[in-house]
Structures are given as C-alpha cells and as structure tokens.
Homo-oligomer: A and B are copies of this chain.
Amino acid sequence: MLNPDRFLADLETLRGFGAAGVGKGVVRPAFSDADIAARKWLAARMAEAGLTPQFDPVGNLFGLVEGPSLLLGSHSDSQPEGGWLDGALGVIAALEVARAAREAGGPAVSVVSFQDEEGRFGVTTGSAVWSGTLPMDEADPLTDHAGVTYAVARARMADLAGPFVDPGRFTGYVELHIEQGPVLDTAAEQIGVVTDIVGIRDMKITFAGQQNHAGTTPMHLRRDAFQALAAFNASIAERFRNVVTPASVWSVGHVSLHPNASSIVPGRATFSMQWRDGDADRLNRMEAIVRATAREIAEARGMELSFGPLLGLEPVTMDARLRTALESGAEAVAPGRWRKLPSGALHDATNVAGLMPVAMLFVPSIGGISHDFAEDTANADLVAGLRVLAQAADIVGRGHATR
C-alpha cells in the first residue's frame, strides 16, 4: 500500500544529508561527502524495499526489479545552495511507488537517482553520459568552478561503481518534479502534466571596444562596451516581439566587464544570452535575431564582436501514452485542480527521451521559488504528486500486462 507518511519521513531523512541549517535548504552538490552519503543511504533503502541497488561508473544509482519495468526517478544532488525538494522529491516518490508495488505484487517499477543533474560539471551530466549524449572521454576533462575534473570527482565513488545499466530493460521513464515556477501555485492547482520540455540556446557574446579614462575621454569619442551591451539588450526586446509567444523566455544572466572599474570606460563586455522555447523553429528564428542584432550593434559602435559556442538542447515532446496515464491519475487525485503545461526547466528526462518514452509531472513550488534554501511545497501537494505517479504506474503496468 502506498504509504504517504513513510514517503514524507524518507524525504525528511534525505534532507538531513547536507542540511544547510537555513530553513529546509540543503547543500549537497554532486560527488560531495553529503551527496555520496545520501546515495549510500538511498541504496540501503532500495535494498530494504526489495530492489537491487546498482551504481554505475558516473554515480547514477538504480534500484532494479527483475525483468522489464517502468523507470521512475529524478536526482538527489543539489545546487550549491539548493532546496530540499528539487530532484529529491522525484527520487523518494519513485522509491515509495516501487516499494508499494513490491508489496502489492505489481506493477514492475525500478528507481533511479541520476548524478549531477544540477550541472556541477556541465548540464545534467549523469543522465547525459548514461544516455550516450555525452561521451565519457568528453565528460572526464570537464571541470567545476574550482578546477576539479569530472574524472577526479567520479573516482570518489569508484568503490561503489558497477557497470552501466542496460536502458533496454526499461519500458519508459516518468519523473515527478517540483514546478520551479509560479504557474501552479498562482492558480492554486496541485498537479501539472508536462506536455513538453522546452529547448534551450545559450551563448556568451563579447563586445570589445576601447578601454579609456572615464574622465578624459569625451562621450562622442568613446567605444564603451557596456553601452553596446545595453543597446543590444534593448534592441533584442524590440525585435523578439514579432517572433515570441508568452511562453518564450530570454535572459542576460551573466555580465562581465573589463576592467570593471568605476573610473574606466569598459573596453570589453562578455555576457550570456540565453533563450528557451518549446518550438525548435522559433529557437532558430530567435538565434538569427540574436546574431544579426549583435552584428549591427557592433558595426554601428565600432566594436569587435565574438560569439562563444552555442549550447543547444532541442525541445522534447512527452510520450502520449505515458502522458495520458498521468492525466488520468491527475483527474482522479485532483479533479479540476490540474493542468497541462510545458516545462521551462531542463530535466534528466530530456536525455532519457533519446532511449525510451518519457513523461513528467509537476507539483507546485510555493511562490515559484527554487534553487534557493526557501524552496518548499505543501505536504498535501507532495502527496498528491506521489498518488498521481503511483496511479500512472498502475495504468501503464496494466497496459503492459494486457498487451
């Protein structure tokens, strides 16, 4: 029997690994002592539930049943200053559903906690390596902000590592996650069934003008790289208008000026330009606008322009059969209090989609807050998410049984 109290107690226990001491926050980055300890505890909890724990060479932890099974899970690593539910919720809910299914004699459910979803070494590296998106020899030289390589970090778990798990044993993947945005909370709804995970484009852009004395250089003789960035930012907002939808987003989140001193006209501005949308064509149209606008600003202002490499992840549409099962579960558990919505955040499901059918469901984030110690969700909503996940696993399992 699905046991909400056991589920909430396990969530609470997991929070103890790397507890920040600030609200419910956690500090449990991939391959940290707290992360490894949490994964060992999870493996023991899986074994107690009758699952066979197996670590792979990059720290992903599976809890396996015999034969073909539906894979449920998420990740148990956190941001450097993370919330207690991001990833953890999906892992512990998967554990509870698999455990209840063992007790009930079906359906066949396995569990996964992917490693480094939060991108200490890149973007969702654990599921990226497992799914073949990121070759191991490209992953190993990646470094974190302190210069530690992925190879050195994953060696910390070498004593636990077995072989990679064959993805062929799984019939599909379903991930429960917090929304990390304000939509469900604002609408007082309990469940979001994800339609697709948006695609992303991200690149660094650099304008190089002329570094000058901020007292002696007349305004009309300046080639101020910050002013070029400001002009680019304004022009992009104007030109995107004809292309974007209300679901499109874009951000200048990182800015680095050189030499970044109040008395010196900035000679160089490097900044991040990131945009996300559910439609691959629109992502490409936005890219064309970004590049053309940067070129025009650079030309008009006498700047040298350079583009960094483009990070691109394509939009992923959720599998229709799995999504329908989630919608049935949502209507049963929270009638009239759920909706379909896209995921603006990346998830391991994007990588897993290359291997098998995937689907996702969300529960509300209070105030839309995530990647922050203040991240939280009402217990009633956590349990609603658990119940929908269990119902969907039942529906999918019955479908298998009757085929």
Chain B residues with CB under 8 Å of A212's CB are 368
Please tell me if the beta carbons of A213 and B252 are within 8 angstroms of each other in the complex: no
Contact A214 to B253, CB < 8 A, known contacts A202-B262, A234-B230: yes
Please tell me if the beta carbons of A249 and B214 are within 8 angstroms of each other in the complex: yes
A265 in contact (CB, < 8 A): yes
Chain B residues with CB under 8 Å of A149's CB are none
State in angstroms the CA–CA spacing of A293 and B219 once bound together. 20
Please tell me if the beta carbons of B253 and A213 are within 8 angstroms of each other in the complex: no
Chain B residues with CB under 8 Å of A213's CB are 180-181, 344-345, 370-371
A158 in contact (CB, < 8 A): no
Q: How large is the interface on A (under 10, 10 to 19, 20 to 34, 35 or more residues)?
A: 35 or more
A104 in contact (CB, < 8 A): no
A233 in contact (CB, < 8 A): yes
Please tell me if the beta carbons of A263 and B255 are within 8 angstroms of each other in the complex: no
A198 in contact (CB, < 8 A): yes
A221 in contact (CB, < 8 A): yes
State in angstroms the CA–CA spacing of A250 and B343 once bound together. 43
Please tell me if the beta carbons of B249 and A219 are within 8 angstroms of each other in the complex: yes
State in angstroms the CA–CA spacing of A213 and B83 once bound together. 13
Picked from B182, B234, B253, B257, the residue with its CB within 8 Å of the CB of A266 is B253
Contact A255 to B253, CB < 8 A, known contacts A179-B216, A215-B198, A262-B272: no
Which A residues contact B (CB, under 8 angstroms)? Answer: 179-183, 198, 200, 202, 204, 211-221, 224, 226-227, 230, 233-234, 246-257, 260-266, 272, 274, 276, 343-346, 368, 370-372
- 26 CB-based A-B contacts, threshold 8 Å: A181-B217, A181-B218, A182-B217, A182-B221, A200-B215, A202-B263, A204-B262, A213-B344, A213-B371, A214-B249, A214-B276, A215-B344, A215-B345, A216-B368, A216-B370, A217-B249, A217-B344, A218-B247, A218-B249, A226-B252, A226-B255, A251-B263, A253-B261, A253-B262, A256-B260, A262-B274
